[in-house]
Structure 1
Amino acid sequence: MKRVKAFAPATVANVSCGFDILGFALDSLGDTVELVAKESPGLTVKSIKGDGGKLPLEEDKNTCSIAIQAMLDAMGSKQGFDIYLEKGLPLGSGMGSSAASAVAALVAANELLGNPFDKKDLLPFAIVAEKAACGAAHADNVAPSLLGGFVLIRDYFPPDVIKLPVPEGLCCTLLHPHYQLNTSDSRSVLRERIPLKDAITQSGNVAGLIAGLFQSDFELISRSLKDVIAEPYRASLLPGFETVKSAMLRAGALGMGISGSGPTLFVLSKGAHLHEKFGSEAKKIYDQLGLGLDMYFSKINTQGGGLIQS
């Protein structure tokens, strides 16, 4: 086999109280990578579609090639690949765009190399690419994009990730307002020291959310989707955030939070029947703010990155 195509899904990181330790994968939205094995060594990013010409083709800067090179180095392999990336995610959106590219590339490369790694063992290589993309070795996007479902990152040294159950009927609506928010700005407003009271509250909410997932207890999930560490400070960077959140909760949402570092917002619900209502209410608010809005509906993707059968 000389040519393989793989897809990796968009993700929501942090999930309110799970700052840097929780994430989940989405259906349909994501990136596609096609790899062609070469006779000669070296990685070449041949083309990128859907990025508006913004992403680098240089192999030492592109997350696809960085992830694959980390994998090849671990194997001591000189295998070469031509890389064709198709972006299905907006850049800088808080949907795990760089993570999806890296994961799709790794899944494809692993297949062409004869599957030397189990899927979960690809995670360290994806983390290397994520660090190159955003300056920090976070796994709350790459882990769910790779493994699917809800994922808990218990530790980073070494990576220790636990896949959590997904209650039947849990759905997500994404609200992507049309404005730019830099990850560095989102990080800069966070406190370096957390009061004991807030740490206790946040720990309780994380534990409650995980228990709710295991027990399929939607009321417990709803009560636990509260962030006292990041959201109170990041909300000021997001026009209309508090107004939108209040509207979503009135409309029947389990909870709403910031996807990654924003500006995309995620709204969790029991079932799909509220999606149009969420979108309608959100659009009214963003129209008043003079901002465009893209909306996506998704069930939770429990499979993660995988091959596309031709």
Structure 2
Amino acid sequence: MKTYRFDDIARQNELICMNESMYNHGLAVHDHDFFEITYILKGKGLYTQNRKTTPISEGDLVMVAPRDIHRFEPLTNDFHWINCIFRPEALDIHGKHPSLSELLTLDWDNSDIPQEIPHEIFLRKKGDIFKNIFSDMKKEYIKSGNGYRKIMRMQLRLLLTKISFAYSPDPQEDPSTGMTAEALKLLVQSFFNSSALYSKITLDELAAKAHVTPKYFSELFKKKTGLCLSEYMCMLRINRAAELLISTDANIEEIMHYVGYSDSKFFYRAFKKYYEITPAQYRKKHETTNTASRV
């Protein structure tokens, strides 16, 4: 597991650092020796902390303490975030790592904040109130003008105050409750989009990414989407086969194997179920259409 150190990321002699990142491959399981506040600017992904996986998307905010193990995984190619990392000294706290609760009540006595927040702070869809602060802090950090460190300390306190009043502790809930039908479908699609071997994609892999058992993942997918997981995966395979029939010169058997079928009988039956014609007829139909459109 990767451990990130503040001194390896921030500029020398800084107590606050601003970063903006876009990773198609995501950010692997890691921890760090600093506080981190991340705001999702664009796209959709999964956020995992202490084996609890939750969909995350544009407008969401996550705050984690030092040594908390977590990760971000993209579900769309435009998954993009901005974060503020800082040391307690930026808030005039010396000699200790304060709790998340202490940070949120630093300037305001908010009775809604519990004495101890056990893990991360997760805020959904709070609009531009956070986005604008992150943008202003990034501008100050990049410009590094006269008095920028003092300005950024004030901005950090303002950010924490806004988080404090936007935060409300959630009751204990099933880790799956945040997994919407869209998020589950995107999770499955992400495997198909990144894999060159469709036949290698298994229920065990999908469940592992969601940090649940295979049986539970299958039941959850059915409950949330109304589709059997095997049915949805079949649809993705056949849709990919249809794309390859049009976009490549590969023969039908090669395409069949590529999308994960070893038995031509099952492949042809599945293809006709979705397109009502055979793969050969589908290719010929689109060749005729493309020829006509060029005339």
TM-score, normalised via structure 2 length: 0.26
Higher Rg: 2
Structure number having the greater strand percentage: 1
Structure number having the greater helix percentage: 2
